[in-house]
Chain A
Amino acid sequence: MDRLKTFIQDFGWPRIIIFLFLVSLFIMAPFVQVRIDASISDVLNRFGQNAIMVLAMVPMIQSGCGLNFGLALGLVSGLLGATLSLEFELIGIAGFLGAIALATPFSILFGWFYAKLLNKVKGEEMTIAMYVGFSFIMFMCILWLILPYSNPTMIWGYAGKGLRTTISVENYWLRILNNFLAIRIGEFFIFPTGLLLFVGLFAAMMWLFLRSKTGTAMTAVGSNPQFARASGVDVDKMRTISIIISTFLGAVGIIVYQQSFGFIQLYTAPSPMVFPAVAAILIGGATINKASMVNVLVGTILFQGLLTMTPSVINSILQTDMSEVIRIIVSNGMILYALTRKVKVSK
């Protein structure tokens, strides 16, 4: 009984409730003619699509910068990389990797400026970050219109300039990861091997990084910046590194998402992608100053599982579209829950 109690305490009520809810959705699924195998396939797919964006939260949480509400900077870098890759007509795996390579310099540049700003507002990072993200997306809305892209698949047909709101990657690198070594079982179940391997690769790299000298210093900065400074660590530099890594992972994350989803979405599209990533890592058990790979894994599966199952199951039961409502309640509710439980680093 005691062990159960400590387990519940460690795992946390929100996670248990969401987990039980998810299990009940799976149990209900067959009764409303929703196929379990298709659902699981869907969950895996969505997990792979989103996991890297959730992973992007880790470095900034560890370095004490809080949740990266300014992930949009990373997403925009990814969009720039993806559109440039299309502009240069890069196709297949070269197109996908090219998009990441082209996004990298942008993510480093944006991340660096973002870090400059956040280092000036220690203690208020999350609020500032949110506004940086929103305003940057709006600024990019102007740029998407006036940047001199010329690939006809991307620009508005009637004006001959300005990027479209959604651009298909079908003829370039659609499902390039998903289809790599994919295992098809039966009619409805596809195991997206390549996608999950790619996610695993990034998670492993992050895991190793957190165990390196720099990663250790970064964690110490998040745990007690004064201690780190007294031990000869450059606090601002560590924060800058963590913010650049986070922004870079945001860029990779959105490109992975696009190759699976099939479209590059521009203009205000990155806006609603930030909160789900924040919510996912919180559901996974991360706090505002500690996060691990397990948090990323558990959180993404639970959150994306919920998003996959609610439209099919709940909608069939209620005969109405509840999925969006549930997504918003869960993601905002989770963020609210985490912020009210903000445990300050003990002093």
Chain B
Amino acid sequence: MMIGSPLLSIEHISKEFYGNVVLHDVSFDLQRGEILGLVGENGAGKTTLMRILFGMPVISDTGGFQGTIKIAGNPVHFASPFDALDAGLGMVHQEFSLIPGFTTTENIVLNRESMHPSLLNDVFGDRMSILDRDKMRERAKKAIEKLGVEIDPDMLISEMPVGHKQFTEIAREIDREQTQILILDEPTAVLTETEAEVLLKTLKRLAQEGIGIIFISHRLQEVLTLADRIIVLRDGHVVQNVPNQELGIRDVASWMVGRSMKETEIRSEPRSFSQIALQVRHLRVDMPGEAVQDVSFEVMQGEIFGIGGLAGQGKLGIPNGIMGLFPASGRVELKGKSVPLNNPAKALSMGMAFVSEDRHGVGLLLDESLEWNIAFTGMQIQGQYLKKILGNLFSLRDEKAMQALCEEYIQLLDIKCTSTKQKAKELSGGNQQKVCLAKAFSLNPTLLFVSEPTRGIDVGAKKLVLDTLHHYNLDFGTTIVISSSELEELRSICDRIAIVDEGRIAGILPPTADISEFGLLMSGSRVREAIHG
């Protein structure tokens, strides 16, 4: 080993998925005993980078990557995560990979158990050895001690608080003698504040023992407290790689979200509104992965209201909860009339419509024709596209009216399809999104919720979809509430933008507000900054 060469160096790594560049010429080094804070928005390329580092099969399945990874100066190539483990990389995932029915000890030494040879070894080989439970317990204890926490080595994982599970995962990585590099992906996301503090202390102590740590978190305050060096990824580029000296949370926040303002044109001039369209009070939504804790806000009549924030913070839970798709509680009023929650039919018939973020799961009937997709909700809720037969006894689908409606929207939104009878699954992502919009528009809603309108569609279609929404608002005065992870998109068409963090609204800003303001709200540092700064 060359003295002085960094523990891990990443050199010129690029990666694309089907022509979509997610990492572009990423290079950085990790020294022995250094803690590297890696920050970036969702989709900045953090996860892909870690997957490459860990030799995950998904990378080689999609065409591999360019660039080299060196450990202690030697180029390495990992064909699978096992190679990475052997080379001394340890990874602590956001989701726990522990066996709930096993004890702490068993989880920590899993697959590396200490063993006694037994008589059967002569015949059947090592697999017939007997576990040396005392030794295993010793090892587990030692690993836990190293972390500076107290966990009962004989406790079952299923009975542990989440914090302890997180520590068990780290202990497992440390128990491997060869582990020199530890990667933690959002380790504090599930921890309470005190647990998070203990974890940060532990990591510092590990670093002092010479282990290199890559710490990924969107909580900027933690990163600033912990890291020796901060790397900011944005759209697959390393935009900053600086030592953590005299950095303010504001700087990091603006590096993380900021594109130059030239790229974003803010279309709506400041408008003023007088009437309240939607009033939400103490909304709580139990949507898995997007839980909303306690949200109150107003949307004005005729406004485009944006809801932003990082993934998993609850911005998608708000529209899903109001539209009755997930269990919700609280008070919602549409133009002064109370909206019953947990009742999609009622929400729709009161004049609200919803374009779901889950296009394939909720938004479309993939196996049915475009006519069905666009007309169905109007038929069920408003009784449209039905014709009476046998003297009003019975009503049937009016296929002609459905076709006319469908043709109208195909023309209006420029949906590329072979006919109105084409199945929804055969369209491209962007055109499918237009079908979802057409379905919502055909209800003539007074309030339209749109979730992640541009997720998974290409750049050209993105612009079209946003333009469509913008014009729809201008032409019909429809109030629109857009939830999106793409801040730039929200800033380009919204009148006001609420940023959601940990299930609560962190603040509401005008689109012209400084980019760092948004970054601050997203990283949940509004309160904490006040304390530290």
Contacts and interface: CB of A to CB of B under 8 A. Distances in A.
A231 B364 contact: no
Given A212-B394, A212-B397, A230-B323, A220 B365 contact: yes
Contacts, number: 81
B366 A345 contact: yes
Interface in B327-369: 344-349, 354, 356, 358, 360-368
B376 interface: yes
Contacts of B345: 232-234
Interface string B358-393: 101111111110001000110111010010000000
Given A208-B394, A212-B397, A223 B367 contact: yes
A211 interface: yes
Contacts of A212: 394-397
Contact of A231 (B346, B348, B367, B368): B348
A216 interface: yes
Nearest to B354: A230
Contact of B381 (A216, A224, A232, A289): A232
A211 B348 contact: no
B368 A220 contact: yes
A347 interface: yes
Given A208-B396, A217-B380, A347-B361, A231 B425 contact: no
Contacts of B367: 223-224, 289-290, 345-346
B366 A230 contact: no
Given A211-B396, A223-B365, A229 B379 contact: no
B211 to A, nearest CB: 43
Interface string B98-141: 00000000000000000000000000000000000000000000
Interface string A310-347: 00000000000000000000000000000000000111
A213 interface: yes
A79 B323 CA distance: 46
Nearest to A219: B368
B376 A216 contact: yes
A229 B325 contact: yes
B445 to A, nearest CB: 13
A231 B381 contact: yes
Interface string A159-182: 000000000000000000000000
Interface string A194-216: 00000000000000100111001
A216 B387 CA distance: 13
A213 B366 contact: no
A346 B386 contact: no
A223 B349 CA distance: 23
Contacts of B366: 223-224, 345-347
Given A213-B386, A216-B376, A220-B368, A230 B356 contact: yes
A232 B349 contact: yes
A303 to B, nearest CB: 26
B355 to A, nearest CB: 10
Interface residues of A, number: 23
Interface string A228-250: 01111110000000000000000
Nearest to B398: A211
A232 B377 contact: yes
Nearest to B378: A231
B361 A226 contact: yes
Interface string B286-314: 00000000000000000000000000000
A227 B397 CA distance: 19
B380 A227 contact: no
B397 A230 contact: no
A232 B380 contact: yes
B365 A213 contact: no
B394 A227 contact: no
A234 B348 CA distance: 13
Nearest to A230: B362
Contacts of B325: 229-230
Interface string B64-80: 00000000000000000
A197 to B, nearest CB: 19
A220 B376 CA distance: 8
A226 B362 contact: yes
A233 B380 contact: yes
Contacts of B394: 208, 212
Nearest to B364: A227
Interface in A232-275: 232-234
A212 B397 CA distance: 6
A241 to B, nearest CB: 14
Given A230-B323, A232-B381, A224 B396 contact: no
Interface string B159-189: 0000000000000000000000000000000
Interface in B193-252: none
Nearest to A226: B362
A158 to B, nearest CB: 53
Nearest to B349: A232
A127 B285 CA distance: 35
A213 to B, nearest CB: 6
Nearest to B344: A232
A234 B345 CA distance: 8
Nearest to B439: A231
Contacts of A226: 358, 361-362
Contacts of A220: 365, 368, 372, 376
A58 B368 CA distance: 17
Given A212-B395, A232-B349, A347 B381 contact: no
Contacts of A290: 367
Interface string A272-311: 0000000000000000011000000000000000000000
A226 B227 CA distance: 44
Contacts of A213: 379-380, 383, 386, 395, 397
Nearest to A231: B377
Contacts of B362: 224, 226-227, 230
A227 B356 CA distance: 10
Nearest to B396: A211
Kindly name the residue among B360, B362, B365, B397 whose own CB sees the greatest number of chain A CB atoms within 10 A: B365
Nearest to B397: A211
Interface in A24-46: none
A346 B425 contact: yes
A289 B367 CA distance: 10
A102 to B, nearest CB: 26
Contacts of B354: 230
Contacts of A217: 380
Contacts of A345: 366-367
Given A213-B386, A347-B360, 7 more contacts: A212-B394, A216-B379, A227-B363, A230-B325, A230-B344, A231-B376, A233-B380
13 contacts: A208-B396, A211-B396, A212-B395, A216-B380, A217-B380, A220-B372, A224-B365, A229-B325, A230-B344, A230-B354, A232-B380, A346-B367, A347-B361
The 8 closest A-B pairs by CB, nearest first: A232-B345, A231-B377, A226-B362, A346-B366, A211-B396, A232-B348, A223-B365, A232-B344
